[in-house]
Homo-oligomer: A and B are copies of this chain.
Amino acid sequence: MYRVITISRQFGSGGRTIGKMAAEKLGYKFYDRELVNKVAAESGLSEKFIEDSGEYANSTTSLLFNLSLAGNYGSGKMSLYDEIYVAQCRIIKELAEQEPCVIVGRCADYILKDRDDCLNVFIHTDMKNRAERIVKLYGQTEKSPEKRLKEKDNKRKVYYKNYTGRNWGLVENYHLALDSACIGLERCAELIAEIAGK
């Protein structure tokens, strides 16, 4: 029996939707936007800013530059991003303590790594299926869907590496990693609910 489920996901993989469906099946709370809202309320910053901070890395600059920007390594000073991350850690830990829940993104798998009642899930799928999904959900933009996906993935990877020291998307960090197009969104949600609930 797992009281907390974390969902890490590639952009456009349907991970958020799957997390929401799994939460409904289990009668668990679902935190995605709500988490952003809570961090915004605590920090006094806008929801937009908090949301963007989770993917702040500028893909046109190098990984090392991003890491130094965000982390202020060695300076002993916390950046605004660091402060948001610290607030987010505290809120995620509190939420996990309060009641059974599903938490999407925001390094929750790492932040809750010391709990033994936490099921860590990763949702991904191939570029073609993700491209179709983002165009359907968010429409076309000047950039190709493939470019948008690569940029977003890269930002999540850098964010995760910066705050956890881990590489994003390694099988060993998840109890369950599913290709959502191969397995189907509904079936993914059922599997998560089954494994979490047993």
B-binding residues in A (CB < 8 A): 10, 119, 122, 124, 169-172, 174-179, 182-183, 191, 195
Contacts of A177 in B (CB 8 A): 122, 171, 174, 176-178
Say whether B169 contacts A182, CB under 8 Å: no
Contacts of A122 in B (CB 8 A): 171, 177
Contacts of A182 in B (CB 8 A): 119, 175-176, 195
Most buried by B among A119, A177, A182, A195: A177
Looking at chain A's contact residues, the main secondary structure is mixed
Say whether B172 contacts A170, CB under 8 Å: no
With both beta carbons as reference points, the residue of chain B lying nearest to A169 in the complex is identified as: B171
Q: How distant is A41 from chain B, measured CB to nearest CB, in Å?
A: 33
Q: How distant is A137 from chain B, measured CB to nearest CB, in Å?
A: 21
Say whether A195 contacts B171, CB under 8 Å: no
Instruction: Report the Cα distance A122→B182, complex, angstroms.
Output: 15
28 residue pairs A–B, Cβ–Cβ below 8 Å? A10-B172, A119-B182, A122-B171, A122-B177, A124-B171, A124-B172, A169-B170, A169-B172, A170-B170, A170-B171, A171-B171, A171-B174, A171-B177, A174-B177, A175-B178, A175-B179, A175-B182, A175-B183, A176-B177, A176-B178, A176-B179, A176-B182, A176-B183, A177-B177, A177-B178, A182-B195, A183-B195, A191-B191
